[in-house]
Structure 1
Amino acid sequence: GGVALFRREGRNLIDWVREGSEDPWQAQNVAQMRTSGLEVDLRFAPVVGRLPQVEMGYAFLSSDKRTEGWESKYVLDYLMHQFSVGVAHPLISGWRGDWKLRYERRVGGEGHFILDLKVSGRPKGLEVFLECTNILNTSYTETGGVPMPGRWITGGLGFVF
């Protein structure tokens, strides 16, 4: 585990901005911006037994620049809070399950939860996995308002030599 405090100084930043949602985006110098943050990570990994491995993390960001009468597309569109919990546990016959739950809240936005699950194993010289991302089918956007996909399932098969 660990704790980190940091401060980032930005100068001559350029971003796409607009005054209202109907106005076109325009490139503009945002001048200076100071961003401060905190990250905390904890990990519990048992040495023996069938106990699960647990990881927790929290990140906080804050900026001294505010949108005064205008909307920022990138520079001021950041995750203010992100909390994550991961649990990896053995299943049966060498298979394991990895759960990840995240809570994210962007500056000026609503918070949301994202839950993922990956089941993997190595039977008879193979490496197999099945993963479901965004199990809760949460609607949310990333930086710049890019919509993220809903629930999706992937799988894979590999050969171990």
Structure 2
Amino acid sequence: RFKLADDKLDITPGVAVTYFSDFKFHAFPGLDIGYQISDNLKAYGNLGVTYRIPTYTDLYYNDSSTTGNPDLNPEEAFAQEIGLKYDSERFTTSVAIFNRNATNLIDFVRSDETATKYEATNIAEVNTKGFELNADYHFTISDYKQTLSFSYNFLDDDILDQNKDLSRYSLNTLKHQFITRFTSKLFKNVRQNIIYKHAERTVGTSYNVWDASIIIAINKINFTITANNIFNADYIESGFVPMPPSNVLFGLRYGF
């Protein structure tokens, strides 16, 4: 890591080296740069090369809808990001834009629209652009700290040289995701969390999910009540497995 004399600019180069018997040695350089614009505001940027070898599932797993491929090549990608971070006693926020160019991305793809099985395949090239915003506002009520948080993420995938209608990767992308959380404390031994999430996938389907929890602390005992998916939304968080319907969890923790 290198810093200039005024301590406003810092540069951190790095490199990761991996070895796998089937894929030999690979090196992945990266670079982080940060500049302290003021006491509260910092600009940053980073770039680097990443690498992922196929998993056992990608290579060999077969079921009624998917087929593995033992001839897969590793994924490689070149990622870049620039952003700003602001930090004060009451308000913290960060904003960033990023770009990722991937080659040999591993996806499960149908050979044509009539095929019923997806086969693990190296997609020639995928470009992903995105934007993210995070903000936290801190305030007090009756001398107790409260926090209101917002986050928004946008992703745009461009699957080059590939029919995206045949690809699970495109169909499973979250294009828009908005999450807000209110963490509050109104009484000495009681804390609450309320979380709202809105998400929209590339194909246009969307869902809204509400979660809430209460944590009661008495001496060394913490009692928790958590309500998930309060309004019983039908949605998929990741992959293709539906998330549980509305449910309530009870927890008890004792510290000593």
Relative to the length of structure 2, the TM-score reads 0.58
Larger Rg: 2
Shift of 1:157: 0.7
The residue that corresponds to 2:213 in the other structure is 118
> After the TM superposition, which of the residue ranges 47-56 and 90-99 deviates more from structure 2?
47-56
1:26 and 1:11 map into 2 onto residues whose CA distance is 18
Indicate how the Cα distance of structure 1 residues 76 and 30 shifts in structure 2: closer, same or farther if over 3 A, else same.
Answer: farther
Which residue is 2:199 aligned to? 104
In structure 2, the residue matched to 1:52 is 146
**Bigger shift: residues 142-151 or 82-91:** 142-151
The aligned residue for residue 116 of structure 2 is 23
Structure 2 gaps, min length 5: 1-92
Distance between the aligned counterparts of 1:93 and 1:142, measured in 2? 35
Deviation of the 1:159 alpha carbon: 1.0
Between Structure 1 and Structure 2, how many residues are aligned? 161
Distance 1:33 1:138 in 2: 31
**Aligned-partner Cα distance in 2 for 1:145–1:90:** 37
Residue-by-residue CA offset, 1:65-96 (whole Å, 9 max, x unaligned): 16636332236521110001100112434201
CA-to-aligned-CA distance 1:107-156 (integer Å, 9 cap, x gap):
11311101000100211220111101111110012333221111111111
Give distance in 2, aligned partners of 1:22 and 1:99: 44
Give me the whole-angstrom Cα distance separating, in 2, the residues matched to 1:57 and 1:69.
Answer: 28
Report what 2:86 is aligned to: none
Paired residues for 1:1-161 under 5 Å: 1-18=93-110, 19-20=112-113, 23-46=116-139, 49-50=143-144, 52-65=146-159, 68=163, 70-74=165-169, 77-161=172-256
Q: State which drifts further: 32-41 or 120-129.
A: 120-129
CA contact (8 A) 2:235 2:243 kept: yes
Instruction: Write the letter of the residue equivalent to 1:20.
Output: E
Question: 1:26 deviation in Å?
Answer: 1.7
Question: More relative contact order in 1 or in 2 (CA 8 Å, sep 6+)?
Answer: 1
Q: State the one-letter code of the partner of 1:106.
A: R
Secondary structure (helix, strand or coil) at the match of 1:28 reads strand
Amino acid at match of 2:101: E
Give the counterpart letter for 1:59 in structure 2: N
Shift of 1:4: 1.2
Decide whether the 8 Å contact of 2:181 with 2:195 is kept in 1: yes
Tell me the alpha carbon deviations over residues 90-109 of structure 1, each in whole angstroms, 9 at most, x when there is no partner.
24342011000000111113
Q: Match of 1:144, SS?
A: coil
Identity %: 28
Contact 1:73 1:144 in 2 (8 A): no
Q: Following TM superposition, by how much is the alpha carbon of 1:59 offset from its aligned partner in structure 2, in angstroms?
A: 0.3
Q: CA RMSD in A?
A: 2.1
For residue 14 of structure 1, report the CA deviation from its aligned partner: 2.0
Kindly indicate whether the alpha-carbon contact (under 8 Å) linking 2:209 and 2:231 is maintained by their aligned counterparts in 1: yes
Task: Say which structure is richer in strand.
Answer: 2
Name the CA distance, whole Å, in 2 between partners of 1:160 and 1:101. 30
